[in-house]
Structure 1
Amino acid sequence: MNIVFMGTPDFAVPSLESLIKEGYNVVGVVTQPDRPQGRKKILTPTPVKEAALKYGLPVLQPQRMRSPEAVEELAALSPDLIVTAAYGQILPAAVLEMPQYGCLNVHGSLLPKYRGGAPIQRSIINGEKETGITLMYMAEGLDTGDMIAKSVVPIEDKDTSGTIFEKLSIAGAKLLIEQLPRVLDGTADRIPQNDEESTYARNLSREDERIDWSASSREVFNRVRGLVPFSGGFTLWNEEVFKIWEIAKPTQAGVGSSSGEVPGTVLHLSGDGIEVKTGDGSVLLTRVQPAGKKTMETSEFIRGGLMKKGTVLS
């Protein structure tokens, strides 16, 4: 039986490697094209491509999976089953109908909630207490196919998108290997999704990274950890971007706060961090990045003496 694996980021690598280590015949890998990375814009392969090459697997990197050329290349691998995990492109009907055992997707949410491209980040930003993996059959809609099985993963206050990505990547690989024999022998469940319970996790924009200080302390806290380690949150200080990479657990009352202070006001600076007023209390910034500078602990930043109590972050 020929399996083609389709995926792109680190999240997908454990699923690919688990298929290989369990002895399944992975005949090829499809991933996104190499992209320029870093300040020097060095063309960099995807994590899935790096893993595939390590195991000597053929790699396809079409710009558009919907193109006739890409479909033809994929068909030449004669897939009996296609497994996807965070591939990053919508598959056309010609691909979905190609393998006799169908197309499976390892999705990073508990469907039907958080369909779409940023389910992990949105779950944390929205303050969810748990997330998980859904193994599903793919359909033409966006994450609308029948579900096979789920695995629940708690979200703790100490978690960021980075830690949850790692936990879910491992949970996804495990669920895939557990359920694959049932898929192949025809005994796997096919549970239709309830569209009325669905939510959509659209990809993050620059505006999603902006901190709204009038929001609650918990909302500010959740937003920042939902953006770490990929972009971090940002505010404006002296009309320049001031990035926030870590916030201590939020509080409901700020040190020295008063009714006259607007949200975004710096209430207190200490070795513990920078306390900033929110809509219902305060948060303590513990890791920041001024414009043009490296990421640093706030204790290091405060020693520069450039930010003062009473400063308003906009």
Structure 2
Amino acid sequence: MSPPLRVVFAGTPDFAASSLAALLQSRHSVVAVYTQPDRPAGRGRKLTASPVKALALEHDLPVLQPQSLKAPETQAELAGLEADIMVVVAYGLILPQAVLDIPPLGCLNVHASLLPRWRGAAPIQRAIEAGDSESGVTIMQMDAGLDTGDMLLVRHTPIADTTTGGELHDTLAALGGEAIVEALDALAGPGLPATPQPETGVTYAAKLSKAEAELNFRQPAKTLAAKIRAFNPWPVAWCAHGKERLRLLMATASARRNGEAPHPPGTLLEHAPDALRIACGAQGTEVLSVTRAQLPGGKPLAVRDLLNARSGTLAPGLLLGQATEETS
């Protein structure tokens, strides 16, 4: 068997921690971990270590947290680790060309999409929002571009019409860990063929923002349902409910009942036993069926339980989505 590789790992959030955990269970040696500086978090805004840092410290690994990788002394420190390869997963810092050139085998990235589709910051959520039928992870040889490097290994997974952003995140995090270990095993031995990304099919996954989480019920039911699932658990899709917010966590498009007339978009129709039915589409002729939601001050609940507890606040005929200053 070929000798194990010396690996420097760079990553920050939970998604990256899954790949680090897989590497720690592999035959390869993680010699140091780079992660973002500690950030304020929680109500007390206390400085908090990233999930990657927490895992690295549990395993007594050296942790480095530079503000940037551009300084010559920072690059010299990385070179001094004498790693064979650098694995980068949702690190959050740009790697200059000088850094990409340091490890003899270069820098690999675990990217949560089937490149070249969904380059950029939020590939998991954008794939669901766009109605894609599948996603996956790509192990990519990094270059100076934005997710433009050659592909070394690709793994696929389906997206169901009930898949949420959180569920796809967890699936791809585990898949990414398996794939990066497989890639390193191959690179330590016979190697992996590098496939340039095709020039067609390139899309960009813009960073998520809270501002885009408000729903517009004039959109088609299928579009709204995909957005609700994509934005669960963050930033969470919502609509105005009087002067407060109703958060919507799971929904599907459904058909109007026989004889049911169109209603203004955002109108609550007669409930199903387990769903809020909301008129939507430009003419109010489509129906969005919401099966999980959260009222202000309450917990996320299946709509069946929500209606049992608070049916009076969600009466048919109520018009949702009329934002006020308090909810905008």
- TM-score normalised per structure 2: 0.88
CA offsets 1:11-65 (integer angstroms, 9 cap, x no match): 1223212222222111111112222223333332211111111111011122233
Shift of the 307–25 alpha-carbon distance from structure 1 to 2, 3 Å rule, reads same
Structure 2 residue 82 is the aligned partner of structure 1 residue 78: yes
Name the count of aligned residue pairs.
312
Aligned equivalents of 2:227, 2:165: Cα separation in 1 = 10
Q: Which of 312, 320, 326 is equivalent to 1:313?
A: 320
Gaps of 5+ in 1: none
Q: State the partner residue of 2:179.
A: 175
Do the aligned residues in 2 keep the contact of 1:236 with 1:242 (CA within 8 Å)?
A: yes
Letter in 2 for 1:119: P
Determine if contact 2:208/2:235 at 8 Å carries over to the other structure. no
State the 1:257 CA deviation. 4.0
The RMSD of aligned alpha carbons is 2.0
Alignment of 1:252-291 (within 5 A): 252-253=255-256, 257-259=260-262, 261-269=263-271, 271-279=273-281, 280-291=285-296
Which stretch shows the higher mean deviation, 106-115 or 62-71?
A: 62-71
**C-alpha displacement at 1:158, in angstroms?**
2.5
Relative distance call for 1:300 and 1:40 in structure 2 (3 A) is: farther
Residue by residue over 1:209-235, the C-alpha shift from the partner in whole angstroms, topping out at 9 and shown as x without a partner, is 121212221111110111111221011
When residues 39 and 291 of structure 1 are mapped into structure 2, their CA distance, relative to the original with a 3 A threshold, is farther
SS in 1 for 2:154: strand
1:37 correspondence with 2:41: yes
Q: Distance in 2 between matches of 1:181 and 1:78?
A: 19
Residue in structure 2 matched with residue 155 of structure 1 by the alignment: 159
Q: Does 1:251 align with 2:259?
A: no
Equivalent residue letter for 1:167: T
Residues 1:40 and 1:245: Cα distance change in structure 2 (over 3 Å):
farther
Instruction: Check the 8 A contact 2:274/2:302 in 1, yes or no.
Output: no
Q: Within 5 Å, give how 1:184-263 maps onto structure 2.
A: 184-185=188-189, 187-247=191-251, 249-253=252-256, 257-259=260-262, 261-263=263-265
Correspondent of 1:59 among 43, 49, 63:
63
Maintained 8 Å contact 1:257/1:277: no
The residue that corresponds to 2:149 in the other structure is: 145
1:144 and 1:226, CA in 2 relative to 1: closer, same or farther beyond 3 A?
same
Whole-Å separation in 2 of the counterparts to 1:184 and 1:214 = 54
User: Which residue number corresponds to residue 326 of structure 2?
Assistant: none
Equivalent pair of 1:254/1:277 in contact (CA under 8 Å): no
The equivalences for 1:78-117 within 5 A come to: 78-117=82-121
Give the alignment partner of residue 126 of structure 1, picking from 124, 130, 133: 130
Deviations 1:171-225 (A, max 9, x none): 1111222222332346311111123321101111223312121222111111011
Which residue identity lines up with residue 274 of structure 2 in the other structure?
A: D
Give distance in 2, aligned partners of 1:255 and 1:263. Answer: 18
Shift of 1:292: 4.3
Q: Which moved more, 1:299-308 or 1:204-213?
A: 299-308
1:10 positional shift: 1.6
CA distance in 2, matches of 1:255, 1:27: 65
Q: CA deviation at 1:80?
A: 2.1
Whether the 8 Å contact between 2:209 and 2:235 is mirrored in structure 1 is no
Q: Which amino acid aligns with 1:226?
A: A
CA distance in 2, matches of 1:289, 1:62: 40
TM-superposed deviation, 1:104: 0.4
CA 1:66/1:243 → structure 2, altered by over 3 Å: closer, same or farther? farther
